[in-house]
C-alpha cells in the first residue's frame, strides 16, 4: 500500500530536481572517497549533471502536471525558471575557478551546497502548496548561509554568514507565521484554496479575512527579506561584500530569481493584485526600493557594495512588472530576470577575474586604468555596466522597456515616470565605473594577470547573453509570454 501517495508519474515529472538531489549526495560521497580529486574534475561532473537536468527539462517542456497530491506543479513556468537557475548555478561554478577562491572553495561540500541551493530554488518555483514553498526557501537559505561563510579564514566572510543567518532566520519566521495564519484563514495551505478564499463571498471567507490579510502581509515581509526589497534590504550590502565573489553573484541572481518566482506564484494565484489596497502597498515598496537602492549606490566606493545596492534597485524595477498584473508584465519579469542573470554575474565575474591569491580587488580605485592592463575585461565590464544602466541594444534596456510598457498598459503612469528618473540616476554610478576603467591612469604596482579559462568562459557567455537578448528580444518575449500563461 502506498501510504505516501507518491506515484511513478510523480517521480518522472519531478526528474530534473531528483537528478540534482542525486548529484548533490553523489558529490558528498565522492568527496569522502576521493578527498584529493582535482577541483576541475569535480566542476566538470557537476556541470554535466546540470546539462542532464536542462536536457530533461527541455524534453518535458510542453508537459504540464500537478504532482505529489497537488503540492508541486511541473509546468512551463517551472521549466523556464529551472533553466534559469541552472544557468546561474553553472556560471557561478565557472566563476569559482579563480585564483583566490580556487583553493579554498572548490571542495566537494562546496559543489554539493551549490546543487542543494539550486534544488531549493526549483522547489520554490514549482510549489503550489505553502509547505513545499517553505521547504524550498529553507533548502536554499541554509545552503547560502554556509556558502556565504565558506571562506573560513576570512573574518568578513564569517561576518556576512552570521548576519545573513540571523536576518534570514527572522525572515523565515515571518514567512512561516504568515503561512500559519493563511492556513487558519483559508482552511488549506494550497494556493488554489487561498485564491478561492479570497475571491468567494462566503461567510467563512468573510470571517477569516483578517487572518488571511495578516498572513499575506507577513508572507510579503518574508519574501521582501529574501529578495532585498526596501525596507527589508539592510542585510544585502554587508553580505554581498563579505561573501566570496561567486557566491555574491549567485545570491544576486539565482536566489533573487527564486524569490520572485515564489512571489509570482503566490501573488498571481491568489489574485491579491486585483485589490486596490495591495496595489498601493506594492506601488510604494517598488518606488522605495528602486529609489533607495540607486541613491545609496551613488556613494559606494566598494564595487561589491555598489552591485548590492544596484541589485536592490533592480528588485524595485522587477516588482513593477508584478504590480502591472498583466501578461506582458509577468513575461517582462521573466525576461528581466534572465537578462539580469547574465549582466550581473558578468559584473561579478570581472571582480573574480581581478582576484589574486590572498587578495581581492573590489574598490573602484583598483579598476583605474583597467583598459590599459586588461582591455578585454574592461570592455566586458563596460557592456555589463551599460546593460545594468539600461543603455539601448543591451538586454537591460529591453528589460526595462517591457517592464515600463506593461506598467503603462496597467495605468501606472507616475510609477513609470519615477522608474525612468531612477534609471537616469543610476547612469551616474554605472558610467562612473566605465570612466574609472578607461579615463583614469592605473596607480600602484602593476598586477600580473593569470590565465583563467573558466572565468573567461563565464564572461564570454554573459557577454553573449547580454547582447543577444538586447538584439533579438521578440522571440524570447514570446517564449516568456507562454511561460507566464502557465501561472496566471
Burial of 41 (0-12, 13-18, 19+ CB in 10 A): exposed
Q: What is the largest CA-CA distance in the chain?
A: 75
**Is the bond leading into 231 cis (omega within 30 degrees of zero)?**
yes
* DSSP 3-state of 371: helix
CA dist., res. 221 & res. 102, Å (int):
36
Q: What is the pLDDT of residue 119?
A: 93
Helix-, strand-, coil-residue percentages of the chain, each rounded to 5 = 75, 5, 20
> Any idea which residue has 528581466 for its cell?
336
The set of residues, in sequence order, having a beta carbon less than 8 Å from that of 94 and lying 6+ positions away, is 43, 454, 455, 457, 458
DSSP of 62-78: T--EEETTTTEEESHHH
Q: What is the pLDDT of residue 370?
A: 83
The three-point CA angle 272-139-289 to 5° equals: 45
- Has residue 209 got a pLDDT over 70? yes
256-295 residue pLDDT tens: 999 999 988 888 877 787 778 888 888 999 999 999 999 9
- Has residue 89 got a pLDDT over 50? yes
The set of residues, in sequence order, having a beta carbon less than 8 Å from that of 399 and lying 6+ positions away, is 317, 332, 335, 336, 339, 340, 390, 469
CA dist., res. 337 & res. 322, Å (int):
12
The three-point CA angle 123-255-342 to 5° equals: 115
Average pLDDT over residues 216-230: 88
Under DSSP, the state recorded for 350 is H
Average pLDDT over residues 95-99: 76
- Has residue 104 got a pLDDT over 60? no
Confidence of residue 352 (pLDDT cuts 50, 70, 90): confident
What is the pTM for the complete model shown? 0.91
Count the residues in the chain.
Answer: 488
Is-contact 186 193, C-beta < 8 A? yes
CA dist., res. 391 & res. 447, Å (int):
31
Q: Which long-range contacts (CB under 8 A, 24 or more apart) does 278-284 make?
A: 279/323, 281/220, 282/319, 282/322, 282/323, 283/323, 283/412, 283/415
- Has residue 356 got a pLDDT over 80? no
Q: What is the pLDDT of residue 2?
A: 47
- Has residue 228 got a pLDDT over 60? yes
Which of 344, 276, 356, 273 has the alpha carbon at shortest distance from 312? 344
Burial of 474 (0-12, 13-18, 19+ CB in 10 A): exposed
Q: How many of the other CB atoms lie within 10 Å of CB of 273?
A: 18
Which region, left, alpha or beta, applies to residue 154 given φ > 0 means left and ψ of -120 to 50 means alpha?
Answer: beta
Q: What is the pLDDT of residue 292?
A: 92
Cell of 96: 569559482
Q: What is the pLDDT of residue 345?
A: 92
CA dist., res. 167 & res. 181, Å (int):
21
Amino acid at each position: 500500500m502506498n501510504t505516501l501517495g507518491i506515484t511513478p508519474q510523480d517521480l518522472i515529472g519531478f526528474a530534473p530536481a531528483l537528478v540534482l538531489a542525486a548529484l548533490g549526495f553523489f558529490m558528498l560521497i565522492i568527496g569522502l572517497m576521493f578527498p584529493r580529486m582535482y577541483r576541475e574534475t569535480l566542476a566538470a561532473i557537476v556541470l554535466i549533471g546540470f546539462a542532464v537536468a536542462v536536457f530533461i527539462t527541455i524534453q518535458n517542456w510542453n508537459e504540464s502536471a500537478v504532482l505529489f497530491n497537488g503540492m508541486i506543479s511541473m509546468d512551463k513556468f517551472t521549466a523556464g525558471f529551472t533553466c534559469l537557475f541552472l544557468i546561474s548555478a553553472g556560471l557561478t561554478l565557472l566563476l569559482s575557478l579563480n585564483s583566490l577562491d580556487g583553493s579554498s572553495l572548490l571542495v566537494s561540500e562546496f559543489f554539493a551546497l551549490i546543487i542543494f541551493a539550486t534544488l531549493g530554488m526549483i522547489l520554490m518555483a514549482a510549489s503550489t502548496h505553502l509547505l513545499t514553498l517553505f521547504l524550498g526557501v529553507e533548502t536554499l537559505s541554509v545552503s547560502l548561509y554556509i556558502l556565504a561563510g565558506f571562506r573560513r579564514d576570512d573574518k568578513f566572510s564569517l561576518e556576512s554568514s552570521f548576519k545573513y543567518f540571523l536576518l534570514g532566520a527572522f525572515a523565515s519566521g515571518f514567512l512561516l507565521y504568515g503561512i500559519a495564519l493563511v492556513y487558519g484563514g483559508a482552511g488549506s495551505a494550497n494556493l488554489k484554496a487561498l485564491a478561492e478564499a479570497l475571491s468567494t463571498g462566503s461567510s467563512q471567507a468573510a470571517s477569516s479575512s483578517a487572518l488571511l490579510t495578516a498572513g499575506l502581509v507577513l508572507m510579503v515581509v518574508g519574501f521582501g527579506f529574501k529578495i532585498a526589497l526596501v525596507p527589508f534590504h539592510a542585510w544585502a550590502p554587508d553580505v554581498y561584500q563579505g561573501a566570496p565573489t561567486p557566491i555574491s553573484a549567485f545570491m544576486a541572481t539565482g536566489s533573487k530569481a527564486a524569490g520572485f518566482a515564489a512571489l509570482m506564484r503566490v501573488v498571481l494565484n491568489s489574485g491579491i493584485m486585483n485589490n486596490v489596497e495591495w496595489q498601493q502597498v506594492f506601488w510604494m515598496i517598488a518606488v522605495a526600493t528602486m529609489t533607495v537602492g540607486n541613491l545609496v549606490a551613488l556613494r559606494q566606493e566598494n564595487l561589491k557594495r555598489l552591485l548590492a545596492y544596484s541589485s536592490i534597485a533592480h528588485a524595485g524595477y522587477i516588482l513593477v512588472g508584478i504590480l502591472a498584473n498583466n501578461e506582458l508584465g509577468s513575461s517582462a519579469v521573466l525576461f528581466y530576470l534572465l537578462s539580469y542573470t547574465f549582466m550581473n554575474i558578468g559584473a561579478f565575474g570581472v571582480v573574480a577575474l581581478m582576484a589574486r591569491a590572498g587578495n581581492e580587488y573590489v574598490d573602484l580605485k583598483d579598476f583605474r586604468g583597467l583598459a590599459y592592463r586588461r582591455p578585454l575585461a574592461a570592455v566586458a565590464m563596460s557592456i555589463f555596466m551599460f546593460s545594468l544602466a539600461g543603455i539601448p541594444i543591451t538586454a537591460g534596456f529591453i528589460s526595462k522597456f517591457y517592464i515600463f510598457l506593461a506598467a503603462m498598459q496597467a495605468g501606472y503612469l507616475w510609477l513609470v515616470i519615477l522608474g525612468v528618473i531612477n534609471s537616469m540616476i543610476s547612469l551616474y554610478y554605472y558610467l562612473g565605473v566605465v570612466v574609472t576603467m578607461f579615463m583614469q591612469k592605473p596607480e600602484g604596482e602593476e598586477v600580473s594577470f593569470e590565465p583563467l579559462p573558466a572565468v573567461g568562459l563565464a564572461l564570454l557567455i554573459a557577454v553573449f547573453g547580454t547582447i543577444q537578448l538586447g538584439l533579438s528580444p521578440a522571440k524570447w518575449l514570446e517564449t516568456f509570454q507562454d511561460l507566464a500563461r502557465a501561472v496566471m
